[in-house]
């Protein structure tokens, strides 16, 4: 049996596949199935993950796993948060991560230029089964600080400007295996596995 990974973000797909593959479950991406990108109209990571998983499950007839995630900066009262992808978009909807990181840094630094800004990545994972309406959601986080300028080519999105607590390198510099063991996504995934085990 197959599990649909209801994301159009290749960075996420890669990380979720790395978390799931050891379980011997085969996965297929939403883009591969030509599933549309649903409009994210929810007010929380959990709501958005839910609606993405539900739509993918109903359209594909397969169980679907969706991820809604983002960077939450304390000094910005949790922004960009659920708008993390939007902060990278220009007028045409193209994503430029340097642009997003600059905006985050500029706004965070303005609040207290002396302190490294505290932040966390948040992730909600939702798994939905087709037709019967059942959806379960699990949330995870990883705390850290912001770095400037961005460093490292590994990872995706805001990774080059995020240093997890206990490390000196950014998620852009740390090995993917390490990120997969401590990330917000890994945290949510552990909770999902524990629940599915029962």
- Is residue 55 annotated as involved in ligand binding? no
In the complex with ligand ITT, which residue's Cβ is closer, 40 or 113?
40
Say how far apart CA 55 and CA 111 lie, in whole Å.
Answer: 40
Q: Where are the alpha helices (DSSP H) in the chain?
A: 10-20, 45-60, 97-111, 176-182, 184-197
Q: What residues does 4 pair with on adjacent strands?
A: 28, 64
Q: Which DSSP state fits 58?
A: H
Q: How far is the CB of 110 from ligand ITT (least distance, A)?
A: 22
The single residue among 35, 54, 72, 121 that binds ligand ITT, judged by CB under 6 A, is: 121
Site pattern 51..90 for ligand ITT (x: CB under 6 A):
----------------xxxx-------------xx-----
Q: Does 157 bind ligand ITT (CB under 6 A)?
A: yes
- Is residue 159 annotated as involved in ligand binding? yes
Going by C-alpha positions, the residue among 198, 169, 196, 197 that lies closest to residue 182 is 169
Q: Does 170 bind ligand ITT (CB under 6 A)?
A: no
Catalytic sites, residue numbers? 68
Going by C-alpha positions, the residue among 157, 174, 169 that lies closest to residue 121 is 157
Q: Does 172 bind ligand ITT (CB under 6 A)?
A: no
In the complex with ligand ITT, which residue's Cβ is closer, 113 or 188?
188
Q: Sheet of 118-128: strands edge to edge?
A: 26-29, 2-5, 64-73, 118-128, 135-146, 162-164
The single residue among 50, 55, 139, 159 that binds ligand ITT, judged by CB under 6 A, is: 159
């Amino acid at each position: 049996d197959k599990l649909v990974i209801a994301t159009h973000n290749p960075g996420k797909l890669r990380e979720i596949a790395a978390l799931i593959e050891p379980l011997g479950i085969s996965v297929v991406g939403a883009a591969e199935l030509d599933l549309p990108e649903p409009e994210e109209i929810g007010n929380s990571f959990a709501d958005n993950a839910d609606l993405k998983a539900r739509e993918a499950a109903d359209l594909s007839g397969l169980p679907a796993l969706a991820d809604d995630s983002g960077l939450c900066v304390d000094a910005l009262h949790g922004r960009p948060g659920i708008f993390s992808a939007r902060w990278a978009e220009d007028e045409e909807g193209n994503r430029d991560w340097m642009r997003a990181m600059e905006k985050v840094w500029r706004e965070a630094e303005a609040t207290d230029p002396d302190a490294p800004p505290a932040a966390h990545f948040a992730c909600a994972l939702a798994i939905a089964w087709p037709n019967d309406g059942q959806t379960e959601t699990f949330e995870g986080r990883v705390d850290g600080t912001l770095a400037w300028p961005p460093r490292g080519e590994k990872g995706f999105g805001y990774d080059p400007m995020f240093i997890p607590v206990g490390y000196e390198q950014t998620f852009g510099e740390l090995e993917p295996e390490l990120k997969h063991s401590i990330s917000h996504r890994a945290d949510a995934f552990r909770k999902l596995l524990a629940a599915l085990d029962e």
